[in-house]
Amino acid sequence: MNDDLVCRLWQSTPAGAEKDTTQMLETIQKRARAFQRTIFWRDAREIGVAAVMVPICIYVAIQARPAPLMSAGFLLTAVSCLFIAGWLWRSRRGAPLPAPEDSVTAYGRALLAGYDRQIALLRTAKYWYVLPIYASMLTIYTGIVANTAAPLGRLREQAPARWLLGVGFLTAVFLLMTALCGLVWWLNEGYAVRKLAAERESLAALLPG
């Protein structure tokens, strides 16, 4: 009787179930490769920019030594680039890649964990990415203001229209760099996090259970 029941259950299993599982695994693997490729090129781009910017900023800082604040700002920019590159490199460590021979569930869960790590990374971008950049820009900007304060003071008496133009320009620069940093913040913690969360939910819906 039990043998007959097992036989009927086996016969009732869909003939294409194994094929469906293989197709599901292939779909998940394809998404995993696309996800890992996106993360790799993002990190490569940021680390590459840091490799270019660090020597340039150090050189400019040395040349700008007569203006201490500007020199400090460019040195801080170099340090910020190194910090961001190091933080991204650190985030890649301890993140095992899914093994192709894993089951659909194991492979999918490993990929979901990768999404979770990236979402957590982007949700803190204001601390390790935006803040260092903004602090560097503010330091350089403060140095520019300090260097132009005396000439602007003279213009105020001699040519009020030119003084107003200079003050307006400095104000516009401040607003522009603040807006750019705000945009970078939103792109990371707003747009990118929502996009990754939607992709994660889509992937989770594919997994058994």
Q: What is the DSSP string of 41-93?
A: HHHHHHHHHHHHHHHHHHHHHHHTTTSHHHHHHHHHHHHHHHHHHHHHHHHHT
Q: Does residue 12 carry a pLDDT above 50?
A: no
Query: Terminus-to-terminus CA distance in the chain, angstroms?
Result: 31
Q: Encode pLDDT of 30-45 as tens digits.
A: 888 888 899 999 999 9
Give Cα 89 distance to the centre of its chain: 12
Q: How far is Cα 173 from Cα 135, in angstroms, rounded to an integer?
A: 15
Q: What is the pTM of this model?
A: 0.80
Helix axes 68-92, 17-63, angle to 10 degrees: 160
119: pLDDT confidence band, cut at 50, 70 and 90?
A: very high
Looking at residue 191, what DSSP letter applies?
A: I
Q: Does residue 7 carry a pLDDT above 60?
A: no
Q: Does residue 108 carry a pLDDT above 90?
A: no
- Residue 110 and residue 98 in contact, taking contact as beta carbons nearer than 8 Å: yes
Q: Encode pLDDT of 146-191 as tens digits.
A: 999 988 888 888 888 999 999 999 999 999 999 999 999 999 999 9
Q: Encode pLDDT of 53-87 as tens digits.
A: 999 999 999 999 989 999 999 999 999 999 999 99
Question: Which of 3-7, 12-16, 36-40 comes out lowest in average pLDDT?
Answer: 3-7
Nearest CA to 108 among 33, 198, 34, 25? 25
pLDDT, position 204? 86
